[in-house]
Amino acid sequence: MGKHAPGPIKRFLQRNAPTRDELIESRWLRPVRRYIAAHEYWRFTRRSVPRAVLVGMFIGIFLMIPGLQMFAAAALSIPLRANIPLAAAITWVSNPATTPVFLLAGLEIGSRVGFHTDVDSFLALFERGASLGEWGRWALSDAAPAVIFGLFVIALGLALVAYWVSLIGWRLWIARRWRQRSVDDQST
């Protein structure tokens, strides 16, 4: 079977993501160094990949604090035996382009289950480029429980869907590789 050039995501991660050795040497990660050094958290297996997708998707949507997301995904990957770098990468599902969509959807879901919210005030803050202080006051109002509940529902739902899609996708990918290997063996 011939070698394929890495895809754009893999090339991006190879250029920009810290290596395992760099993470092991980080003084900030000293308390979890033994987990980072363990190969099981870096291998792509039929169990570790879907778990990483589940963790990364849930944390990425529910937590929405850049930097803290990746740390939380890595920490949650340890007890779940998920692939740490993949879980951390998937947290980028929430980014500057998607965050307003998730927040608005969370607010809408929260308001539908009975939390008192004002979607118009959210949109007004967003449209006028409100300061961090204004966003903080809004977050501490009645809207906060609605957004938290809505984000939890969205994060859980999308994480479960992504888990099953990745589980099925992994199995299909392996089956395709086995078929290709069989074809290659027959042609030689």
DSSP string, 38-94: -GGGTS--TTHHHHHHHHHHHHHHHT--TTHHHHHHHHHHHHHT--HHHHHHHGGGS
CB 57 within 8 A of CB 162: yes
Q: Which two tokens stand for residue 123?
A: 């949109």
- Tens digit of pLDDT for each residue in 131-155? 888 878 877 777 788 888 999 999 9
- On the question of pLDDT at 1 being above 50, the answer is no
Residue type at position 154: I
Give the tens place of pLDDT for each residue, 8-65. Answer: 766 776 776 667 787 788 787 788 788 778 888 888 888 999 999 999 999 999 998 8
Q: Are 23 and 30 in contact (CB under 8 A)?
A: no
**Structural contact between residues 159 and 61, judged by C-beta atoms closer than 8 angstroms:** yes
Q: How confident is the model at residue 3 (pLDDT cuts 50, 70, 90)?
A: low
113 vs 7, 110, 146, 154, CA distance in Å? 42, 6, 8, 13
The pLDDT, as a whole number, for residue 16 is 67
Segments making up each domain of the chain, as ranges: 8-187
Is pLDDT at 114 greater than 70 in this prediction?
yes
pTM: 0.77
Q: What is the DSSP letter of 26?
A: -
Q: Tokens for 103?
A: 């927040």
What's the whole-number mean pLDDT along residues 115-142? 80
The stretch 59-82 carries a mean pLDDT of 89
When the pLDDT of each residue in the chain is averaged and rounded to a whole number, the result is 85
Q: Is the pLDDT of residue 71 over 80?
A: yes
